[in-house]
Structures are given as structure tokens and as C-alpha cells.
């Protein structure tokens, strides 16, 4: 189905409005914050997996918890600002939301490694990609609003 000129212009206008909105600005900033947190997660995961010879589930859990702390700090500093709920409650909520994120992360990691036979580090990258959408949306609509 091809868009007519008028519909195409409306679609462009809607995309530009979304991009310029508070949600769009937060999503762009979270892309960088989430990226930095994901890199930290992957580096910590690889360090624990290869240097400390931890099982990939243990390494994935620890790296996710530490990367979530980094993500919270960077999100408050560069994306969302302080939560109206107070710092203590926001941290608790971030880890509560992240418990769903870690479940997604570990499920994808387990499926990738145990069922599909993917290398643990590649499965970890895929798992992070799956969890990022949940993490951003929950933070934007629930924790920091």
C-alpha cells in the first residue's frame, strides 16, 4: 500500500511531533544511557564469565544488577531527572521494574545458550536488546512520571 502525498505529509508531521515531544527527547537520551549501561553489562558479564569462571546465569544476574545501578544514576542525571517519589523509592522501583527486565534478560540468555546453542556473549547482547524496551517504557511511564 502506497501513501498518497497528503497522508505521507501527515505521517511525517506525526513523526516529527513525536521526535520533538518529551517522550521523543527522553527516548533519544535513554538510547545513549541504555547503550552505556548495556556495554557495562556486557563487559562485566564477560569478565565474570571468563576471568572468574562463573556460570553464565550467575554472571548475567550480577552484571545486570550492577548495570542497573549505573543505568539509574545516568537516567536521573541525563534523561528523567529526579523522581517525584524520592530517591529511595525511585531506586526501589527501578530494581522492581528491573526484576522483570532481568527475567526477560535471563530467559533470552538461557534460550540462546541452552536451546539455540548461541555463544553466551552473543546471547547476552540479544537479551539486552529485548530488555531495553521494557526498561525504558516502565521508567518513563511509571517511575519518573
Statement: the pTM of the whole predicted model exceeds 0.85:
no
- Per-residue pLDDT reduced to its tens digit, 4-50: 666 656 556 666 776 667 788 888 888 899 889 989 999 999 999 99
**Which contacts qualify for 109-116: CB closer than 8 Å, 24 or more apart?**
109/56, 109/57, 109/60, 110/57, 113/56
Q: What is the mean pLDDT of residues 93-120?
A: 88
Q: Which comes out higher in pLDDT, residue 10 or 65?
A: 65
Query: Is 139 within 8 Å of 97 (Cβ atoms)?
Result: yes
How sure is the predictor about 3, in pLDDT bands with cuts at 50, 70 and 90? Answer: low
CA distance 40 to 123: 16
What pLDDT, in 10s, does the model give residues 55-64? Answer: 988 998 899 8
pLDDT of residue 128: 83
Residue 116: the pLDDT is: 94
Amino acid at each position: 500500500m502506497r501513501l498518497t502525498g497528503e497522508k505521507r505529509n501527515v505521517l511525517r508531521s506525526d513523526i516529527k511531533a513525536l521526535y520533538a515531544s518529551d517522550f521523543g527527547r527522553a527516548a533519544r537520551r535513554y538510547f545513549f544511557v541504555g547503550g552505556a549501561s548495556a556495554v557495562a553489562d556486557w563487559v562485566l558479564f564477560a569478565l565474570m564469565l571468563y576471568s572468574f569462571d562463573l556460570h553464565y546465569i550467575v554472571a548475567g544476574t550480577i552484571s545486570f544488577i550492577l548495570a542497573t545501578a549505573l543505568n539509574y544514576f545516568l537516567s536521573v542525571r541525563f534523561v528523567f531527572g529526579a523522581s517525584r517519589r524520592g530517591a529511595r523509592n525511585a531506586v526501589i522501583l527501578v530494581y522492581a521494574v528491573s526484576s522483570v527486565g532481568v527475567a526477560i534478560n535471563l530467559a533470552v540468555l538461557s534460550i540462546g545458550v541452552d536451546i539455540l546453542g548461541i555463544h553466551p556473549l552473543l546471547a547476552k547482547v540479544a537479551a539486552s536488546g529485548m530488555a531495553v524496551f521494557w526498561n525504558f517504557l516502565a521508567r518513563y511511564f511509571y517511575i519518573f512520571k
